[in-house]
Amino acid sequence: MKCDMIRDLLPGYIDGLTCETSNMAIEEHLRECRECRKYFEAMKKEMMSERYVVKMKKEVQEEIQPFKKIQKEMRKRAIIVALTVLLTVGILGCIYEGLYGSGIQAKAEDVEITYEKVNGVVRFNFLATDDAKYIDVLGGACETGENGKDIFKWNRIQPVLWRISPFGKQKEPGHWGFLFLDEDTIMDRNGKTSELSGDEVLEIEFADGTKEIKIKDLYTEIGMQQLK
């Protein structure tokens, strides 16, 4: 057999794919042909080297495969932890907002009212009967005046009950009051002076009913008794 034919058969011979007859012919030729023998040795070395590289790549892939699974599992767990944290924060935020982010109209039993009068200024404070809560006082209604400014109904108020936030500062008690210029004249919270006929009342709107107190009586001890 010619050299070029032998050389074409060598890859199959190295891989053990040639038949017995071809093997005998190839081996006989290699014993007699020095050039083909060198070619065979070089080819075998090259093919072995390529196979070694492929084998190493395969082994490396097999070795790192468990680490890839671990890395994938850790990434999945990190995502789950992050989502859990976000969900927990969201739920806690909703709970916090529900507990401390909004107030409710107080009932009469939720409020203790104290009264003081100094130099014509009458002030009464609204204290929560529960130490974990506080009272804020809102004007019951407002209307827009001729100048476009809001005017509060100074004689109608609404105590609002709030929970004290564990992270917030201690709240001052809600309060309301009037400035008596004399027994029959007051300056209301809008800065307007009003003459009292004796029929004007202060309306305190609780969730379970409205308490009315004659404003003129707030100038004397009678008003203090009515607030209790």
Q: Return the number of other C-beta atoms located less than 10 Å from residue 136's C-beta.
A: 18
Q: Return the number of other C-beta atoms located less than 10 Å from residue 40's C-beta.
A: 20
Residue 168: what pLDDT? 63
Give the range among 27-31, 141-145, 176-180 with minimum mean pLDDT.
141-145
Each residue's pLDDT tens digit, 158-188: 888 888 877 666 677 788 888 888 888 888 7
Residue 53: what pLDDT? 55
Any bridge partners for residue 193, and if so which?
A: 187
105 or 94, which is more confident:
105
Instruction: Give Cβ neighbours of residue 215 (< 8 Å, ≥ 6 apart).
Output: 155, 178, 186, 196, 200, 201, 202
Nearest to 40 by CA among 7, 18, 15, 17: 7
Query: Is pLDDT of 51 > 70?
Result: no
**Are 139 and 156 contacting, i.e. CB atoms less than 8 angstroms apart?**
yes
Query: Is pLDDT of 77 > 70?
Result: yes
Sequence-ordered strand ranges (E) for the chain: 104-105, 111-118, 121-128, 133-139, 142-144, 150-152, 156-163, 174-182, 185-187, 193-195, 201-206, 209-214
Query: Is pLDDT of 127 > 80?
Result: yes
**Are 190 and 150 contacting, i.e. CB atoms less than 8 angstroms apart?**
no
| Buried residues in 160-191 as b, exposed as e (16+ CB within 10 A) | bbbbbeeeeeeeebbbbbbbbeeeeebbbbee
Instruction: Give Cβ neighbours of residue 19 (< 8 Å, ≥ 6 apart).
Output: none
Nearest to 66 by CA among 74, 55, 54: 74
Give the range among 9-18, 95-104, 158-167 with minimum mean pLDDT.
95-104
Query: Is pLDDT of 117 > 60?
Result: yes
- pLDDT averaged over the chain? 78
Residue 186: what pLDDT? 86
